[in-house]
Amino acid sequence: MGSGNVVETTTTTTTTATTTTSSTFMSDFIGKCGGNVVIDGGFATELERHGADLNDPLWSAKCLVDSPHLVRRVHLDYLDAGANIILTASYQATIQGFEAKGFSKEEAEALLRKSVEIACEAREIYYDRCTKDSWDFMENGRTSRRPILVAASVGSYGAYLADGSEYSGNYGDAITLETLKDFNRRRVQILANSGADLIAFETIPNKLEAKAYAELLEEEGIEIPAWFSFNSKDGINVVSGDPISECVSIADSCKQVVAVGINCTPPRFIHGLITSIRKVTSKPVLIYPNSGETYDGQTKQWVKSSGNVDEDFVSYIVKWREAGASLFGGCCRTTPKTIRGIATALSDKN
Ligand code: MET
Ligand SMILES: [Zn+2]
């Protein structure tokens, strides 16, 4: 691991969840990580690479039910690759989605909690291994320990629909702010009290959904921090066509939001989007692009486009850092190899 990612802590210190949202939560964490934070990479697509069949409305959340060992394995692979933040397998885990599969409300809630438990367990296993490996190098009871946060993933309403609308942002007129708030309320409450360090609202495709999350965080008095991450397919707007500036403004006005940025977007759009985001907010900027391939919601396949492949975008990380981002990872079709490349690129810079 790059030295930029290692800080001195005592052996007894663990990364613990915050109980109150703090405006300095993320800047403190970035400081602890040496100025740059490594986020993990594609989770669902990595489960598939390990043989999981995710052709299901629950997508990666299906593995919470039938292969939790694989979920733990992928978290550990990203920790081994250098991640400072791991995202749980709850992206497409919703109470409504589990109920549609025949689970009770209680079972559905337990599965949401389980996504966080597995990620926390992976962090403990990783730390235990590091402690054992570095036993000979400990001095005065002190050892180096990489700061690691567990982020509870919340995918968009479009992800739950599993019809590709997370990439169109078009929910139709019947879906209102209240619909979206009601849909997410219980899920967000459960994840906020699950032991996760923060909530990652991912792949937000439109302004309405950003507004719903912001209002929900306020109304429910959610006490752990959150990040808002949008997706774009033109480098100017979020996928629905809503201007990125308006979406980021919503995140900027929400006190629980500690970072804002872009995920599951082709690498070629990232630089311009960072510049647009910086104009609207001084909150830390996160980016975790996909491999540059495009998801076909009809065939449920990733298809090659003229974008960059994952090996390529690692070479842009330093430029994206200069443009003002400070948290970097990968989304769909990126792998632990991508994340190792990012960690190396950032530590070489320091
Ligand atoms: C469609 S974006 C998916 C994001 C999620 N964190 C994953 O990597 O599986
Ligand atoms: Zn993705």
Confidence of residue 139 (pLDDT cuts 50, 70, 90): low
* Cβ of 331 less than 6 Å from ligand 1: yes
pLDDT averaged over every residue in the chain: 90
Binding site per annotation, positions for Zn(2+): 264, 331-332
Cβ < 5 A residues, ion ligand 2 = 264, 331-332
Find where tokens 């100025």 sit.
35
Domain that includes residue 15, residue range: 3-349
- Which atom of ligand 1 has the smallest separation from the CA of 203? 2
Instruction: Give the pLDDT confidence score for residue 14 in this predicted structure.
Output: 42
Rounded to 5°, angle at Cα 243 from 334 and 210: 70
Confidence of residue 142 (pLDDT cuts 50, 70, 90): low
The secondary structure of residue 319, as a DSSP letter, is H
Crossing angle for the helix pair 68-81 and 105-133, nearest 10 degrees? 40
Confidence of residue 138 (pLDDT cuts 50, 70, 90): low
Residue nearest to atom 2 of ligand 1 (CA): 264
- As for how many domains the chain has, the answer is 1
DSSP string, 40-85: ---SHHHHHHTT----STTGGGHHHHH-HHHHHHHHHHHHHHT-SE
CA of 332 to the centre of ligand 1 (A): 6
Question: Percentage of the chain with pLDDT > 90?
Answer: 81
**Contacts (Cβ under 8 Å, ≥6 apart) of 228:** 201, 204, 210, 213, 214, 247, 248, 250, 251, 254, 257, 259, 260, 261
Residue 164: pLDDT over 90: no
Residue 3: pLDDT over 90: no
SS3 151: strand
φ, ψ (nearest 5 deg) of residue 35: 105, -20
Return the top range by mean pLDDT from 16-25, 159-168, 294-303, 335-344. Answer: 335-344
Determine which of 81-90, 121-130, 203-212, 307-316 has the lowest per-residue pLDDT on average: 307-316
Q: Taking residues 30-42, what's their average pLDDT?
A: 97
* pLDDT tens digits along 270-302: 999 999 999 999 999 999 999 998 888 778 788
Residue 1: pLDDT over 70: no
The secondary structure of residue 237, as a DSSP letter, is B
ipTM of this model? 0.98
CA of 9 to the centre of ligand 2 (A): 33
Tally of residues, the chain: 350
Determine which of 12-21, 226-235, 265-274, 307-316 has the lowest per-residue pLDDT on average: 12-21
CATH of the domain at 267: 3.20.20.330
Instruction: Give the pLDDT confidence score for residue 23 in this predicted structure.
Output: 82
Alpha helices, DSSP H, located in the chain: 25-32, 44-49, 62-66, 68-81, 95-100, 105-133, 157-161, 177-192, 207-219, 244-253, 270-280, 310-313, 317-323, 336-349
Instruction: Give the pLDDT confidence score for residue 141 in this predicted structure.
Output: 58
Ligand nearest to the CA of 115: 1
